[in-house]
Amino acid sequence: MTILALVIFITVLFFLYSLYASVIKNKNTVLEALSGIDVQLRKRYDLIPNLLTIAKKFMEHEKELFGKITELRSKAINSELGTKEKFRAEAELDTQLKALMVNVENYPALKSDAAMVQAMQTYNEVEEHISAARRFYNSALTQLRNSIQIFPGSIFAACAGEAANLSYFETDAASRQPVNARDYL
């Protein structure tokens, strides 16, 4: 009888430990995904000055757009922002970068410049990587939230800490709309 009780106790203990470990793994996956977004955004931040430098050579009268992009880049880099504010700043920056790409289309010499073509290709690759990192983050956050909101995992919800309160990445209404080239011509 005592052996059976010991086996049941060890089984329950192992089960609880497995739940705890699962919540911690999910939390760490969310934090890793958030870090992955930051790595990809850093690539974008590093690319923006190069894009602007190349484009400025051809587009002298677009100074307002360059200034706005530079300002939004600085705002988005701010590590003091929470996830929701950071995602909002990123959406604004993304909108302005799309505007820059539309403006590039108006300058045939710029569009055919080898440095600009390479920069635009790199920009497109970075944007794809950012998109993939955001999807991974949202998926990891969903998995974490599921693991701490469904019983018996909810017993260990406190182990998730602040990670459970992070925001999903959602695009704003303006980013969902197609870019209208007429707005920038």
Q: What is the pTM of this model?
A: 0.74
> What is d(CA 148, CA 170) in angstroms, rounded to the nearest whole number?
22
Which alpha helices (H) appear in 59-82, and where do they start and end?
63-77
**CB neighbour list of residue 140: distance below 8 Å, 6 or more residues apart:** 26, 29, 30, 32, 33
3-state secondary structure of 107: coil
> For the residues of 2-35, what is the DSSP string, one character each?
HHHHHHHHHHHHHHHHHHHHHHHHHHHHHHHHHH
pLDDT attached to residue 173: 61
For each of the chain's 185 residues, which pLDDT tens digit applies?
Answer: 699 999 999 999 999 999 999 999 999 999 999 999 999 999 999 988 888 888 877 776 677 888 888 888 888 887 677 778 888 888 888 888 888 888 787 777 776 778 888 888 898 899 999 999 999 999 999 999 999 888 888 888 888 888 878 888 876 665 555 655 555 44
pLDDT attached to residue 24: 93
pLDDT attached to residue 185: 43
pLDDT attached to residue 176: 55
Q: Is residue 91 a contact partner of residue 174, using CB atoms and an 8 Å limit? A: yes
**CB neighbour list of residue 150: distance below 8 Å, 6 or more residues apart:** none
Is the torsion defined by CA of 86, 87, 92, 96 positive or negative? positive
> What is d(CA 183, CA 86) in angstroms, rounded to the nearest whole number?
26
pLDDT attached to residue 57: 73
Of 131, 150, 132, nearest in space to 142 by CA: 150
> What is d(CA 106, CA 181) in angstroms, rounded to the nearest whole number?
10
